[in-house]
Structure 1
Amino acid sequence: MKLPAFYVRNEGVLPLDKPKLWTKDFIMISSTNFFTHVVFYLLMTSIAMYVITAYHASQGMAGLAAGIFVLASLIARLFAGKYLDKIGRKQMLVGGLIVFLAVMLLHFKADSLLYLMVLRFIQGAMHGVITTAAGAIVADIIPNERRGEGTGYYATSMNLAMAIGPFLGILITRFADFHMIVLVSSIIAFIDLISGILLSVPKPAAGHAKVTEMARFKVIDYFEPAAVPISGAVFAVTLAYSSVLSFLSLYAKDIGLTGAATYFFLVYAAALVITRPFTGRWFDERGANVVVYPLFILLIAGFVLLSQAHSGWMLLTAGALIGIGYGTVQSSFQAIAIQLSPPNRKALATSTFFIFLDLASGSGPYLLGTVAGLMDFRMLYLAVSGWVVLCIAVYYAVHGRRAAAGKNKTAAESKF
């Protein structure tokens, strides 16, 4: 018997012959995302130490030198999302990459803390421009039938950078000076630019009407309302994860596991890459809830294990659980934000999502640092696991309940 062109699979209708995902352009845009974030995380792990040693700055100023990058990125996203289709997606991407590389090279001449701060701010703004443009481009490149899988693989490029960047930063800081960090970062930024130039960008869904609409000044020009609820959920989860980025090294020093902590993010990335093919496919075939709820359980288990770590294997196992949990929840939420938004507002949906993510990444260290002053790190990570439990309720309220209702409706209709 000849099979129909489409068949019902739980939450929706999927084609038997799925469209190709791993195209040249998907690989190029994922590479651009990867290299941009390698530079970001490489500098984030080394800039504070450099500011303290080179300029004899306080820890507060060192923290500002690191955080001003994220602040600038957040501000830039507000405007990049609004003018993305008006300027042109590839034009904005390549323009951002050129300035990003130029500012990186200017770090060789950073002879004062103020000058370095200005460079960090400009480069952070370009990071916001690049990642917003790249996120909008990949949203058009990924076929709708493989949205969860494709978004998951794209997010993996950032997750890999989250492991490789800090590893390179720690390694170079140990054996060389800051000029070597700038040199390596500049080489990576140059490769990043080449990837962007080689990219072919599909025509966006928005046409002339979109440009006219964006010419008016309205709040809706900066945010996609349909993406705000799930973006709020990623804000809550990222607050929890920021505790790892901010305090893992200090915690590892306190418990005598600095050696194991060096490999924490490598294990994080490895676990995420191994599981990504399954979780992305399950998202598309079985729906968000089937993937997200178990991932929350893994994330909670990871923070509990981290809070009780007394050996290297416990610390690294926690890294694997947190990697699978947070890394996949983040990419799943991004896919949901795009799915819920109109086709001609994918760029703003992506911008909205990362504005909330950046806000959590920038404010989390300060908020959790205040909490950390009231308790030790073991209690902090245990408290964070409790916060993730609350995140489950947030997800259920903003999307999980509706997704479950939609699945039940589709299942009922498929019986007739």
Structure 2
Amino acid sequence: MTTIANRQPKQKLWSRSFISALLANALVFLGFEMMAPTLPLYVSSIGGEATQIGLVTGIFVISAILIRPFTGVMAMKMDKKYLLVIGVAIGALATGSYYLATEVWALVLVRILHGFGFGITTTYFTTIAAENTPGERLGEGIGYFGVGETTMVSVGPLIGVMILEIWDFKGLFLSGMAFMLLALLVTLFISRKPNNSKGSEKKPMPAIQFKLIEKRVLFQSMLSALTGISAGGIMSFIALFAVEKGLDQTAMFFTVVALAGLVVRFFSGRIYDHLGPSFVLIPFGLVALAGLVLLVFVQNNVQFLIAAFLYGLGFGAIFPALQSWCISLVEEHEHENAVASFFNFFDIGIGVGAMALGVLAQVFDTYAAVFYVSIGAYALFLLLCIFYAKKPLSYVKERSSTF
């Protein structure tokens, strides 16, 4: 197969802007992940009940979903670097304001604000990283870009718990704000000049459009929603499932998932760039599926961690591949619409999946039911990918016209 990478010399990936975007994005995720295990404790400490804890958790995702469709329009009116700075600043302000919210209703308002900031930053960090990635190395670049957030998903909760144990909630929230402010500082070193532009000729500014869903990446976004269903089940119920099975390695499970996802990104992106999305999505979809099947039948901690490794390996390759695929299907000025659709479908899969899977676990009186549904989601994911792979491969043509 003839690819873009075969037709032209390899271009520079590790620019100052790309590295700055990677580091700043990682710091934003650190500030976010620190709150995952600790914020529910704060809600409880100010008198919140279980339903209110769920509200505080869920409203964050909802507000992020609501703001993302506007990111494309905003980027047409203002430089997206400055929009990114605003998004990170909102996140920093919200994180530092948690301690001032001594009533649940006030905390909900702060979470809405934080969700807006998170929705903005996750969209613009990804699109700016893509702009500073050579077109023929998009899969590789997006894979490396996600290393920071993958690492923080693993260590962020641990750091949050450690800070809370050493200090208190005030120290936790101020530390989170400090990491966000550091991210803001690093963001200033990002340049908006893309490395992958075809020439210096300036194109006329396209008409501003608001898109709730970018139809050209609808198929890819649906795939992300299916992976989100499984991810929501893992995040919400793996600890309870482990207790049900008599296992005691839940923290290590998440660590192994993150480490496997980190390792696979160092080569899955190159597979994507040279062979196309199907050669990543199908084989690594099978790996993730194998991990979920093993998870249902685990009998001991060793099998539990092997399942974590397989699932992490599969998901760690699939997520950046889907991101890269979405970005490659639209013009540069439409990157925000594509990335927003991708993240929103993924978040909806997590949110709706977690709620639906919780009902199933209660109905069947076992948390194993959660992962049977996750297996079904990945089976459908694979069927859709195989169906797509049978179509004429226009992937390289799409990418060459986009970049």
TM-score by length of 2: 0.90
Q: 1:255 to 1:348 in 2, by over 3 A?
A: same
1:136 is the counterpart of 2:132: no
1:243 partner letter: G
Q: Which residue of 1 aligns with 2:142?
A: 151
Q: Which residue of 2 aligns with 1:328?
A: 317
Question: Contact 2:64–2:119 at 8 Å: present in 1 too?
Answer: yes
1:245 is the counterpart of 2:241: no
Provide the aligned length of Structure 1 versus Structure 2. Answer: 391
1:268 is the counterpart of 2:264: no
- Runs of at least 5 residues in structure 2 that lack an aligned partner in the other structure: 398-403
Q: 1:130 to 1:393 in 2, by over 3 A?
A: same
Tell me, what secondary structure is at the counterpart of 1:92? helix
Q: Deviations over 1:218-248 (max 9, x none)?
A: 5xx3432211211111111211111001111
Q: Deviations over 1:170-210 (max 9, x none)?
A: 44455553223213211211111111112112269795522
Question: Contact 1:97–1:193 at 8 Å: present in 2 too?
Answer: yes
User: Greater CA deviation, 358-367 or 294-303?
Assistant: 358-367
Question: Contact 1:283–1:332 at 8 Å: present in 2 too?
Answer: yes
- Runs of at least 5 residues in structure 1 that lack an aligned partner in the other structure: 1-8, 410-416
1:140 partner letter: E
User: RMSD between aligned alpha carbons?
Assistant: 2.3
Report 1:17-416 matches (<5 A): 17-52=9-44, 54-173=45-164, 176-202=167-193, 209-210=205-206, 213-214=207-208, 221-258=211-248, 260-375=249-364, 376-397=366-387, 399-402=388-391, 405-406=393-394
Deviation of 1:29 after TM superposition, in Å, equals 0.5
2:42 partner letter: Y
1:241 & 1:344 partners in 2: Cα distance? 30
Q: 1:96 to 1:344 in 2, by over 3 A?
A: closer
2:184 & 2:306 partners in 1: Cα distance? 36
Q: What is the percent sequence identity of the aligned residues?
A: 25
Deviation of 1:118 after TM superposition, in Å, equals 0.7
Question: Contact 1:15–1:145 at 8 Å: present in 2 too?
Answer: no
Question: Contact 1:11–1:407 at 8 Å: present in 2 too?
Answer: no
1:247 partner letter: F
2:240 & 2:46 partners in 1: Cα distance? 22
Tell me, what secondary structure is at the counterpart of 2:390? helix
Runs of 4+ in structure 1 displaced over 6 angstroms?
A: none
1:76 partner letter: I
2:321 & 2:243 partners in 1: Cα distance? 33
Question: Contact 2:94–2:114 at 8 Å: present in 1 too?
Answer: yes
2:375 & 2:165 partners in 1: Cα distance? 33
Q: Which residue of 2 aligns with 1:5?
A: none
